[in-house]
Amino acid sequence: MDLTTAPLMEPAAQAAPLRLAVILGSDREGRFGPVVGQWLLARLRERDDVEVEVIDLAETALPTSLSYEPAPPVKAVLDTVTPKLARADAFLVLTPEYNHSFPASIKNLIDWHYVQWQAKPVGFASYGGMSGGLRAVEHLRQVFAELHAVTVRDTVSFHHAHGLFDADGELREPAEAEAAVKKLLDQLGWWGRTLREARASRPYAA
């Protein structure tokens, strides 16, 4: 390597926006997820260092029966989702808490993929009752560790979420959540850019 070129390459890599896949995890009828999701997406639109692609699992009809050779209808669904995961530098998973854990729709998306998660960071936003969905997040950390993904420490959680938002989908007291979102996105950005550079310089050995 010509070491004189290295300082010129690093700023360009740092300047490239973080490609972030935002996964809306609930597919339940009457779900509250879109309210929280739209609030999060509005915060993301305020940043110029992030490019967002949304994967809404209520609009992703993947069967629960996995297959190494999916039928054409299943492959058509995968073709709308898998490229988004593959080109993402990082992931932000918005999850509710169902029965002390995360919904099957998220596990289904995870299990249909493997290499797309590897050596990439995952951040979490959660909502629910008293726990704010944090038990779902802790279970997801274990799953993503198995897939060689890196989960960032800080999260955004909405406790008793239904009472936090007004009729227009805005938080009644946004300061704490906005600070948490900034910290989460800053951490995702650091890990996302660092691991993107690492994958570009040497393949990840799973």
pLDDT score of 205: 85
Give the total number of structural domains in the chain. 1
Q: Has residue 2 been placed in a domain?
A: no
Q: Has residue 1 been placed in a domain?
A: no
Q: Has residue 129 been placed in a domain?
A: yes
Of 146, 154, 157, 142, the residue nearest 188 (C-alpha): 154
What is the extent of the structural domain holding 55?
A: 18-25+35-201
Q: Has residue 206 been placed in a domain?
A: no
Q: Has residue 4 been placed in a domain?
A: no
Q: Has residue 30 been placed in a domain?
A: no
Q: Has residue 149 been placed in a domain?
A: yes
Contact 174, 181 (CB under 8 A): no
pLDDT score of 206: 77
Q: Has residue 6 been placed in a domain?
A: no
pLDDT score of 4: 39
Q: Which residues contact 123 (CB under 8 A, 6 or more apart)?
A: 90, 91, 92, 93, 151, 152, 154, 155, 184, 185, 187, 188
pLDDT in tens, the chain (206 residues): 343 343 434 444 457 899 999 999 999 999 999 999 999 999 999 999 999 999 999 999 999 999 999 999 999 999 999 999 999 999 999 999 999 999 999 999 999 999 999 999 999 999 999 999 999 999 999 999 999 999 999 999 999 999 999 999 999 999 999 999 999 999 999 999 999 999 999 999 87
Write the CATH number for 64. 3.40.50.360
